[in-house]
């Protein structure tokens, strides 16, 4: 029986804005940092690699782009191609595929208003 194909990348991460070119490895690094922050319900994390470093911020908001929705993040990075900002979200579908549930705690208990 053949192994299941991995989900498409857009299932895991959806980029809302990027002022720098995103390579697959950079997108994967940002995804891992966001998943870690989301699981720990933490605000800020550092990312570093061979060709980049910076910080990822958990905006602690849910954003929606058409039918894609999920928790929002912002990264400020220094790369070999210059400095820039990336705003993105983890998709709910991707979080569900990974078996990750919304964090439980004081922040999750607060009421959320749409306006």
Answer whether 60's CB lies under 8 Å from 42's CB: no
Encode pLDDT of 51-101 as tens digits. 899 999 999 999 998 888 999 999 999 998 899 999 999 999 889 888 888
Q: What residue spans define the domains of the chain?
A: 9-98
What pLDDT, on the 0 to 100 scale, is given for residue 25? 87
Distance CA 38, CA 97 (A): 15
- Higher-confidence residue of 8 and 32: namely 32
Judge if pTM exceeds 0.85: no
What pLDDT, on the 0 to 100 scale, is given for residue 56? 97
Distance CA 26, CA 36 (A): 15
Answer whether 65's CB lies under 8 Å from 88's CB: no
Secondary structure percentages of the chain, helix, strand, coil, to 5: 25, 40, 35
Mean pLDDT of 29-46: 94
What pLDDT, on the 0 to 100 scale, is given for residue 49? 85
Answer whether 24's CB lies under 8 Å from 6's CB: no
Strand ranges across the sheet with 52-65:
13-18, 82-90, 68-79, 52-65, 44-48
């Amino acid at each position: 029986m053949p192994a299941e194909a991995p989900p498409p990348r857009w299932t895991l991460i959806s980029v809302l804005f990027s002022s720098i070119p995103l390579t697959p490895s950079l997108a994967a690094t940002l995804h891992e940092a966001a998943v870690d922050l989301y699981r720990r319900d933490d605000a800020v994390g550092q990312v570093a690699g061979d060709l980049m470093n910076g910080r990822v911020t958990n905006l602690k908001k849910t954003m929606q782009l058409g039918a894609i929705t999920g928790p929002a993040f912002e990264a400020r990075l220094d790369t070999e191609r210059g400095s820039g900002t990336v705003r993105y979200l983890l998709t709910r579908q991707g979080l569900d595929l990974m078996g990750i549930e919304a964090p439980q705690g004081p922040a999750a208990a607060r009421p959320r208003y749409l306006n």
